[in-house]
A = this chain, B = another copy of it.
Amino acid sequence: MTTVIGWIRGRHDVMREAGMAGAERGPRERMVFSAAQLIRREGVGSTGMREVAAHARAPRGSLQHYFPDGKEQLVNEAVGWAGRYAGNRVARFLAALPEPTPSGLFSEMVRQWTDEYETEGFDGGCPVAAATVDRARTADSTRQAAEAAFTRWTGAVAGALADMGVPEERSRPLATLMISSLEGAILIARAERSVRALTTAVRELGPLLDAAVTRPATDGGTGEAAGS
């Protein structure tokens, strides 16, 4: 698998470049990726299948071929993709930190969003959040996909916290708190068209996170955050 870095911020022009060069991704994955892109901007309800195909520069006929269960399947796979992406990204954040601390990790997680908002505007949100808001009640398979995405993401963060010396019984709750705060701050940031809520979260939550470290960090371990 080639680098997934930066794909979240890529649009179709970037995608075409990445698609033409190097190991070509099939139209199927392009459609899943495009679905995630569109969903996180417009929500599930306002994202049409024809629109996904066009965005992915994939033939419309491929929709029924690759996703015989229709939109629900496509949405579920987009959510799954987003969950894997977020989970894998944690390991990358850790690698980028000179010396890993909980607040440093959280700061990196938030910075991904402030960077995007400052360079590309406030159009995008989290596709998992969008799927939850739009489909949690009506499509249980989508709700499960969102649950799995949050679980994977939380597991990656919790594993990272544990490696930093956060006791086991607090690593998962703190990971959940980090993701909760991040998701809510994303919401507020989009509504306000300002990164204020995001920077506030990292500033106010940082000390609390670092205070949870009770023993020295395990040196090797980013293993838990690794994904496929």
Residues of A bordering B, CB below 8 Å = 41-46, 122-123, 125, 128-130, 132-138, 143, 146-147, 149-151, 170, 173-174, 176-177, 179-185, 187-188, 190-193, 196-197, 200-201, 203-205, 208
Contact = CB atoms under 8 A, between A and B. Distances in A.
A183 B204 CA distance: 17
A177 B181 contact: yes
Given A128-B191, A188-B150, A203-B173, A45 B134 contact: yes
Nearest to A170: B204
B188 A133 contact: no
Contacts of A130: 133-134
A129 to B, nearest CB: 5
Contact of A143 (B174, B177, B190): B190
A146 B208 CA distance: 29
A45 B151 CA distance: 27
Given A44-B43, A205-B177, A133 B129 contact: yes
A197 to B, nearest CB: 5
Contacts of A43: 43-45, 133-135
Q: Which of A136, A185, A190 has the most B CB atoms < 10 Å from its CB?
A: A136
B191 A147 contact: yes
A18 to B, nearest CB: 22
Contacts of A192: 147, 150-151
